[in-house]
Structure 1
């Protein structure tokens, strides 16, 4: 159980890190495209600030949003694992990707068709965020406690 919680928290950190750094990078790329000065020092400082601020401030901290999405997806994957012979890393990778896809697809519906995650404003950005969910889910599926029914197969 402790290993599952630890694996979940690390997968949450992976997904959150990838989402926040992608969002920051897309914002900085846009600023550079309108001839604003963007140098390496600004990129590092902004990424560090955003990793803290986007996860601790605002009405919807990113880590909370991803926490809920991954929790629902991983519980659903666990239920599916009972009746399925799909290997855990692949099953949870699909669940993680589905969680991030749901977040980027459903958020605009809740907020008057606005993409609040800047990185999700393009198809490529959405694809990147889904891949971030796949990576986080794969990590979780690869590191859950062995012997938990057929999850470790």
Structure 2
């Protein structure tokens, strides 16, 4: 099994686990509020943090599968040479965004939250843990898009 497939499979399992915990958390939130008449104090905050993780890791997953939302009308109507160039430009822009915003900016955010010892209100956990998903997703998106560019170049050379 290749590294890419191993990362994809691991990411799938992480996403399934996080989404399962999110569903259970929201179910407990509803049950404790309406059935037990004693709303849980941490479930709302946990649901928000889990949604952040699922959203960003899910974005990395679909970026790796190249199944993200895209308007590809221009690419569909282009010659193979122009299609190759457009896909390379798009991948380069995505990699630059992932590195600058998610990896560098996210790492700075994580560092400052840990350095300042910022804790979440209800759970009392360090917010650096919550924001850790930004550089993780940035690394994954960068890896996936570089791998996609490598495969794109090899496919273009064969034709």
Larger-gyration structure (1/2)? 2
Bin of the TM-score, shorter chain as denominator length: 0.3 to 0.5
Q: Which gives a bigger RCO, structure 1 or 2 (Cα 8 Å, sep 6+)?
A: 1
**How does the TM-score come out when normalised to structure 2?**
0.35
